[in-house]
Structure 1
Amino acid sequence: MTTSPLIPETARIGRTALRVGDLAETIDFYRDVVGLSVVTRGDTTATLGVDGTPLLVLEHAENESPRGWAQAGLFHTAFKVPSRAALGAALERIRERWQLDGASDHYVSEALYLTDPEGNGVEIYTDRPQEEWPRAADGTVEIGTVPLDLDDVAAQSTGGTTAPPGTTVGHLHLEATSLEAAREFYVETLGLTVQTESPSALFLAAGDYHHHLGVNTWHGRSQPAGGRGVAWFEFLVTDAETLSAVRRRLEDADIPVNERDGAIELTDPDEIAIRIRAA
């Protein structure tokens, strides 16, 4: 790993962008079920967020084919809500308007899982207090999976049709073609920390968060990302000076970058675009 991480320890996930076939239907889902608000809307794009902060960009891609079964891409976008009450309210919206795919207690967080109308995975979760996160002897976070008590979560709900202020994209989870290539890029090159790993998954973080990025090979994807699905996602750094330093270090490492809407953009080994932007 790099001595000083190329992605700073203070970085966090910003927006996720999805290419979708039915823009109106997808907007309705993220507004009515996830609880985001429409920030901007045009003929071919829409931005949704919470309290005026953009979290999700939807790009109409009617002429693009759906993601193929062998292609790498998005496993889920994970929206972090600030409390168990907000998680309970999300559970109510899912039960009233959609279908719950699963729910887990991960020791560090409690999570609900569902799928949007385009087949993209969605997680809505809330963190347990950081001092309660189990840690290994080397200080890394131990993430597990046990059943979540949905009745208890539902009992905490204070209701609400929208996600509350403080909701963010807490992490993103990708499906890769090679865990080794993902480790080389995200850990050895960009400097993210491996918090938890298994033979077929990595959970990576900037700093000591439980994870900003998950990467798995559970479904044996063998082709680069393409078609509908994830278009890009972004890391936010603290300021323009930090962004300039990241740009210089990427250039020094001979990693090709492009300018995109005030951000720098690069691609991972599966051709998924990553933007780095000043918050």
Structure 2
Amino acid sequence: MSGLPFAATTPVSVSRVGLRARDAEALAAYYRTIVGLQELSRDGETITLGAAGRPLLVIESDKSAKPDDPRSAGLFHTAFLLPSRADLGRWINHAIGDKIRIDGASDHIVSEALYLTDPEGNGIEIYADRPHEGWKWQNGQVEMATARMDVEGVIGSVPAGDAGWHGAPENTVVGHVHLRVGDPSQAENWWQKEFGFDTVAHYGDKAVFMSSGGYHHHIAGNIWQSPGAGRRDPGRSGLSWVEMRSSQASAETSREDPWGTLIRTVPGKAA
């Protein structure tokens, strides 16, 4: 059995993500069927999904919400981190068998990832990390890139006679959240100040990657679609909130980033 991924063992890590949905039932069905999350609980029209009892995604119904605007600040993608490369291979076999449409498949050196878009336009990454001991660092910056994934190699990591994909396995976590922001340098300053994050990579002046405890990134912010974006429209669907887990926190808190995205913090280590 795989252990908890490195991403979730750092002083600060991502706990859960909240989405505001125009059709919560349909969106929850997508994350169950395609991503492999299990429904854990319901509270009115709010549906909590996760893996092996661990809450990862909360879908809040808002039938009156306007569709998300991809040019505004908000969610670029929620990244679900599987415990092993073989788990990613099992998911790929599931995607092939069920003819699941994907937007891309990349090798980022530190990880291997596939990308999807849910029915309401929210980005999804499903990925597995390479062992963090082998990541290359120089002057506090981690080596990352975007290259073609060796899909056959990932599939080949699944043992012969394996039982296959049966949903997101135990120790699946939200490894990182990538945000659409209006200004990466402003995002960088905010996350450094509020969470003590280290900046571990820049993609020119278009994107910044930040983390706690030597991870390749827990939070990223980019302006690929949203340059100069102002505060978010609270009446739109899409990202509702991001919840961070912090071993340094003594109580639950909430704050807004410069674009009005609600960032919650809960105390404790990942378990």
Question: Would you say same fold, with TM above 0.5?
Answer: yes
Whole-Å Cα distance in 2 between the matches of residues 9 and 79 of structure 1? 17
The 2-side partners of 1:41 and 1:219 are apart by: 34
CA distance in 1, matches of 2:82, 2:194: 31
2:261 matched to which residue of 1?
272
State the distance in 2 between where 1:225 and 1:145 align. Answer: 29
Using the size of structure 2 for normalisation, the TM-score is: 0.88
Structure 2 unaligned blocks of 5 or more: 1-8
Per the alignment, residue 4 of structure 1 pairs with: none
Report if the CA contact (8 A) 1:19-1:230 is conserved: yes
Shift in alpha-carbon separation, 1:45–1:97, aligned structure 2, 3 A: farther
AA of the residue aligned to 1:236: R
Contact 2:46 2:59 (8 Å CA) reproduced? yes
Cα distance change on mapping 1:97 and 1:11 into 2, 3 Å: same
Cα displacement (A) at 1:210: 0.6
Q: Does 1:202 align with 2:208?
A: yes
- Quote the Cα distance in structure 2 between the aligned partners of 1:153 and 1:35: 18
* Cα offset, 1:225, TM superposition: 2.4
Distance 2:67 2:208 in 1: 26
- 1:257-277 per-position Cα deviation (integer Å, ceiling 9, x unaligned): xxxxxx210000010000000
Specify the alignment match of 1:74 in structure 2.
75
Deviation at 1:42, TM superposition (A): 4.0
Specify the alignment match of 1:160 in structure 2.
165
Shift of 1:139: 3.5
Partner of 2:231: 224
**d(CA) in 1 for partners of 2:76 and 2:152?**
26
Q: Which runs of 4+ in 1 moved over 4 A?
A: none
Q: Distance in 2 between matches of 1:234 and 1:9?
A: 15
CA distance in 2, matches of 1:278, 1:97: 40
2 CA distance for matches of 1:69 and 1:31? 24
Instruction: Report percent identity of matched pairs.
Output: 39
Instruction: Tell me the distance in 2 between the aligned counterparts of 1:14 and 1:170.
Output: 9
Q: Which residue of the partner structure matches residue 44 of structure 1?
A: 45
Scaled by the length of structure 1, the TM-score of the pair is: 0.85
Equivalent residue for 1:256?
Answer: none
Contact 1:33/1:97 (<8 A) preserved: no
Q: Which residue of 2 aligns with 1:143?
A: 144
In structure 1, runs of 5+ residues without a counterpart are 1-7, 248-262
Query: Number of paired residues?
Result: 251
* 8 Å contact kept, 1:18–1:232: yes
CA drift at 1:189? 4.3
SS at match of 1:152: helix
Q: Distance in 2 between matches of 1:77 and 1:174?
A: 9
**How far 1:70 moved relative to its partner?**
3.0
